[in-house]
Structure 1
Amino acid sequence: MISTTSLFAPVETDLRLLSENLKKLVGARHPILAAAAEHLFDAGGKRIRPAIVLLVSKATMLDQEITSRHRRLAEITEMIHTASLVHDDVVDEAELRRNVPTVNSLFDNRIAVLAGDFLFAQSSWYLANLDNLEVVKLLSEVIRDFAEGEIQQGINQFDTGITLDAYLEKSYYKTASLMANSAKAASVLSDVGRDITEHLYNYGRYLGLAFQIVDDILDFTSPTEVLGKPAGSDLASGNITAPALYAMEENPYLEVLIEREFSEDGDLEKALNLVMESNGIERSRELASNYSQLALQNLKCLQPSPSGQALQDIVDYNLSRIY
């Protein structure tokens, strides 16, 4: 499997700078918020989202140096992403993320919600200071989409009537919106033509959907120590993802288990086995693969460059996680 370190070679130095800067930017005046932020930014994330922003910036600026606004946009993107994870963990009552205790388990839910709010507010403030209305609109939409995705997920818990389209829409809100809109925003700051910004939006959108589908497959196929959270935890909490949706088509008994919310002994194990024995994983792989192809097609608008190549490699890296 490709490592993210080699993957991000064209922006390696920029990402190191970003990590140092994030802690300064959050620089909360309150020790608990500062500790929460420090903990979050040290929690070993892959930094894929800010890397995409920096790579798109470089791929669209070719002969010129990327600007301080491009760099700030990458920082804002990671802040928004981190804020959404904090709120996610509260909603999911998660105790671990990437094998590290979550903010809500270290402090408590109240502090975690406030830490997430604080990061959203801080990112909005830095966003406004970019003085680019189109970029402000693009990233404000992301923050709204996150909330929309969380609400949809909450409303559809244990709902076996959820369609593949509804699942993909939620996946767009929760994952793809940030990748799509931040990639587009980076190209807006580079002042390239409309057609290129749209292609880069679509690149982020399709990559984001493929990313979510791969994560949802790994929730069934990866052991806890790899995932950093218990395997099958999505299904256990009533979040019905692509592999389970496909498995329900093949075996309606899975619907029965989900509808009674795994209330009887051994229900969850039975449900996980039904998903694993079905073609759900295989069909989800095909779905992720299709979106990956669409993401790659949208990169054809870029002139060849190491950064453009890295954007392609991210698509392959994502798929390599399930093969």
Structure 2
Amino acid sequence: MQRIRELHCTNYLYAKDASLPHGFDSYGFDDMSHLHSDIKKILHTNVKPLQTMCSYYFDGNGKHFRPKVVSLVSKLCNEHGGIERKVSENQRKISLIAEMIHVGSLIHDDVVDFSNVRRGKRSVNALCGDHNAVMVGNYVVANASKLLSSIGNPEITIIISQIIDDIVRGSFLQCVYKQDNKDQFKHYLKKTYKKTASLIANCCKAVACLSSNNNEVIEAAYQYGSNIGMAFQLVDDLLDFVASSKTLGKPSVADLKLGLATAPVLFACDKHPDLHSLILRRFNETGDVEWALEAVYNSSALEETRLLAEQYCKDARLALSMFHESTNKTALLQLTDVVLNRSK
């Protein structure tokens, strides 16, 4: 089984040139240089345990994927509208909000999933208990909401508030399985949009609204964020099967162990219909997880998952077609390769 896992890692994790991420990082991001220190200032409190825990993941060691995407989309929209290339103060606030909502939701997810590891270290709930972790997550999201209110734009408030609504609804959708496998895959994609892609999509939409009244520009920004967000999660699902826990910074096949069927398992159902009964019982019988793993590895499920991620990346690139050529557009186009070829 381990040898099969290693072969799939070689075939799917590094299917293309893995050096592409350097192209993305070479674009600077001066507006991101104080991202985490600024968030820590926003979260500052005299309650020492709360201060320690709410700052725990803002240590500068994350990928900063979401705020970087939001920053590049801000610059692209500003450039398209003839505004100076620099990210505005309110657009930068959206970048901070994106990271804060993301981290707040991670803290909550780890409580729900009984996870003790996040980003290669002990999770917040493992350090301070579930009750305190929930409060910490609430505190981070509450301060993101306060920062949002400081923008003073009702339209932007509605757009960003939709993210919280989607994350909650997506979490409930994750608990439901459909009897029909085709319906189940549609359900999975809907859940994935709400839990993951909505945050990037709506933050991109918000910064576009701050830059332009052009509905085509706003829709293009939203579609880019939505598609890159979907691709990001599909690659996450792929990595859960082909990357080691050391590489991921969290336990591998974690979703299966939680009783969750992601894209590779759902694709494997085409060749192994009996898998569907395991999905419906959430892999809770002895040997279910191992059986599901073998079914995934002995089908085209991983290849199909990657192909679907590639299609979402293609759609993300297509969304940018209305924009003139620029370094920001090039960076966003390259980002689709970064997402497809990341190892963690």
- Give yes or no for TM over 0.5: yes
For residues 218-229 of structure 1, what are the structure 2 equivalents within 5 Å? Answer: 218-229=239-250
Counterpart-to-counterpart distance in 2, 1:96 and 1:189: 37
Counterpart-to-counterpart distance in 2, 1:80 and 1:202: 20
Please say if residues 11 and 55 of structure 1, whose CA atoms lie closer than 8 Å, have aligned partners that are also in contact.
no
Q: Name the structure, 1 or 2, with higher relative contact order (CA <8 Å, separation 6+).
A: 2
1:127 equivalent in structure 2: 148
Counterpart-to-counterpart distance in 2, 1:263 and 1:71: 44
SS in 1 for 2:152: coil
Does 159-168 or 10-19 show the bigger shift? 159-168
Please say if residues 160 and 259 of structure 1, whose CA atoms lie closer than 8 Å, have aligned partners that are also in contact.
no
SS in 1 for 2:27: helix
Does 160-169 or 294-303 show the bigger shift? 160-169
2:323 equivalent in structure 1: 302
1:146 and 2:162 are equivalent in the alignment: no
Percent identity of equivalent pairs: 36
Counterpart-to-counterpart distance in 1, 2:168 and 2:285: 32
**Residue of 18, 27, 31 corresponding to 2:44:** 27
1:41 and 2:62 are equivalent in the alignment: no
**Long gaps (5+) in structure 2:** 1-17
Does 239-248 or 297-306 show the bigger shift? 297-306
Q: 1:260: how far off?
A: 4.6
Q: 1:143: how far off?
A: 0.8
SS in 2 for 1:94: coil
**Residue of 28, 34, 51 corresponding to 1:17:** 34
SS in 2 for 1:214: helix
Task: Please identify which structure carries the higher helix content.
Answer: 1
Please say if residues 220 and 320 of structure 2, whose CA atoms lie closer than 8 Å, have aligned partners that are also in contact.
yes
- One-letter amino acid matched to 1:60: C
Counterpart-to-counterpart distance in 1, 2:252 and 2:197: 23
Counterpart-to-counterpart distance in 2, 1:12 and 1:57: 12
Q: 1:41: how far off?
A: 0.8
**Residue of 90, 103, 106 corresponding to 1:82:** 103
TM-score by length of structure 2 reads 0.88
2:194 equivalent in structure 1: 173
- One-letter amino acid matched to 1:213: L
Please say if residues 120 and 246 of structure 2, whose CA atoms lie closer than 8 Å, have aligned partners that are also in contact.
yes
Distance change >3 Å, CA 5–CA 124, structure 1 → 2: farther
1:283 and 2:283 are equivalent in the alignment: no
SS in 2 for 1:251: coil
- One-letter amino acid matched to 1:215: D
TM-score by length of structure 1 reads 0.94
Does 254-263 or 69-78 show the bigger shift? 254-263
Q: 1:264: how far off?
A: 4.5
For residues 211-222 of structure 1, what are the structure 2 equivalents within 5 Å? Answer: 211-222=232-243
Q: 1:191: how far off?
A: 2.3
Q: 1:29: how far off?
A: 3.1
Please say if residues 11 and 54 of structure 1, whose CA atoms lie closer than 8 Å, have aligned partners that are also in contact.
no
Deviations 1:107-133 (A, max 9, x none): 111111111111111111110110111
**Residue of 125, 128, 143 corresponding to 1:107:** 128
Distance change >3 Å, CA 5–CA 192, structure 1 → 2: farther
SS in 2 for 1:308: helix
CA RMSD, aligned part only? 1.9
Please say if residues 8 and 51 of structure 1, whose CA atoms lie closer than 8 Å, have aligned partners that are also in contact.
no
**Residue of 259, 273, 276 corresponding to 1:252:** 273
Counterpart-to-counterpart distance in 2, 1:87 and 1:4: 29
Counterpart-to-counterpart distance in 2, 1:321 and 1:160: 32
**Long gaps (5+) in structure 1:** none
SS in 2 for 1:34: helix
**Residue of 6, 9, 25 corresponding to 1:8:** 25
The count of aligned residue pairs is 321
